[in-house]
Amino acid sequence: MITKLTPPKTDIDFHNGQAILIDKPIGWTSFKVVYQIRKTVNVKKVGHAGTLDPRATGLLIICTGKMTKSISGFQDLPKIYSGIITLGKKSESMDLETEPFEEKPVENINEEKILEVRDKFLGEIEQIPPMYSAVKVKGKRLYKYAREGKTIEREPRKVIISKFEIRKIELPDIHFEITCSKGTYIRVIANDFGDKLGCGGLLSKLRREQIGEYKVEQALTIEEFEKKYVCN
């Protein structure tokens, strides 16, 4: 059960507890956003309700004080993402965090094939968490193993894709919108999508548009939050 969010007032008690909607900028880790919020409002107990990769932008729910007890409730809500899958390329991170290592032609790919493959991702599917992820194995984040050049065996996880809309096709780019369950890796979808088409693919752009009923249009940028709530 989670508390319904209301727009925060300038005199809000962040120590007692508040959930904040932030539009995360590209290049920032989710932890960096948490650190910045903690520093801005001078509150020790701060956490986020669902990691966004550094190259992703969009909605991040930050909880302070007693509201951190609601984090798991926010995490369980369905998510909506928009972005771009770029075909003909692959990378170790499945996005542009690492350099593409393979390029293949995409001239034989058409809308019919793309929609046919899209349909295979609808419903309950299994994903193997990527090595470049925050999943812990033996107390260590997978991305730390990856940066050491190690590959760790991972168990597949079931996730639900309730909607997968192809917004526009501009090869090699496919513009999409996905509604999915907790724990879905959009990077893995991009990688697997390209593999099913036989040309490879990676995630070149990602934005989290919505978590449950909470939309990125309601969120503040880091700069807007600091200007409004900086602790003097």
144: three-class secondary structure by DSSP: helix
Q: Residues with catalytic annotation?
A: 53
**Separation CA 36–CA 222 (nearest Å):** 8
DSSP secondary structure, 68-123, as one string:
GGGHHHHHTS-EEEEEEEEETEE-TTSBTTS---EE---TT--HHHHHHHHHTTSE
DSSP state of 228: H
**Separation CA 174–CA 70 (nearest Å):** 35
Are 161 and 121 spatial neighbours (Cβ–Cβ below 8 Å)?
yes
**Separation CA 132–CA 22 (nearest Å):** 24
Amino acid letter, 39 = K
Chain CA centroid to CA 217, Å: 16
Are 175 and 87 spatial neighbours (Cβ–Cβ below 8 Å)?
no
Phi then psi for residue 75, to 5 deg, are -65, -30
